[in-house]
């Protein structure tokens, strides 16, 4: 059971960090690439990576919240994921302007929360973290 808990939180933290890196380097890559190749927009496959990160993150949070013993961690994980989802959807549909820093902030907080959850739920046996 401990390995499954660690895997969900490790995957969640890793995906959050990769999402952050993706969001930070995208403008740099496409400004550089776009200027050289006269392209103004990122390819569809690159834009779709956001949804891949969201899906994997959702699954990691789903599993982490099933196994954590902290109600606060559950609330924080889902609140941050929902915020990240809303920010990404808003960016795709361009409803209104949200500062890019909010995207970075939510990805960082999501990663930190997963890492904290790894430390918080230290199981001495296989049943200590199941739905407490």
pLDDT, position 58: 92
- How many C-beta atoms surround the C-beta of residue 105 within 10 A? 16
The per-residue pLDDT for 90 is: 92
- pLDDT for 86: 95
Burial (CB < 10 A; 0-12, 13-18, 19+), residue 71, is: exposed
Residues 6+ apart with CB under 8 A from 127: 1
Count, in order, helices (H) and strands (E) of the chain: 4, 0
Cβ atoms of 129 and 69 within 8 Å: the answer is yes
Tens place of pLDDT per residue across the chain (132 aa):
455 445 777 777 788 888 778 777 777 777 776 655 555 566 777 778 888 889 888 988 888 888 787 788 889 999 999 999 999 899 888 899 988 888 888 988 988 888 888 776 645 445 555 444
pTM: 0.74
The domain made up of 2-120 has a fold known as 1.20.120
Give which of 47, 42, 16 is closest to 29, Cα–Cα.
42
């Amino acid at each position: 059971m401990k390995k499954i808990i660690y895997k969900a939180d490790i995957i969640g933290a890793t995906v959050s960090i990769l999402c952050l890196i993706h969001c930070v380097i995208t403008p740099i890559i496409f400004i550089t690439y776009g200027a050289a190749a006269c392209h103004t927009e990122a390819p569809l496959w690159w834009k779709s990576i956001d949804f891949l990160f969201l899906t994997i993150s959702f699954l990691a949070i789903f599993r982490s919240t099933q196994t954590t013993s902290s109600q606060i961690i559950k609330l924080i994980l889902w609140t941050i994921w929902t915020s990240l989802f809303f920010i990404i959807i808003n960016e795709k549909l361009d409803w209104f302007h949200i500062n890019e820093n909010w995207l970075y902030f939510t990805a960082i907080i999501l990663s930190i929360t997963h890492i904290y959850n790894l430390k918080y739920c230290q199981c001495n046996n296989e049943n200590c973290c199941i739905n407490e």
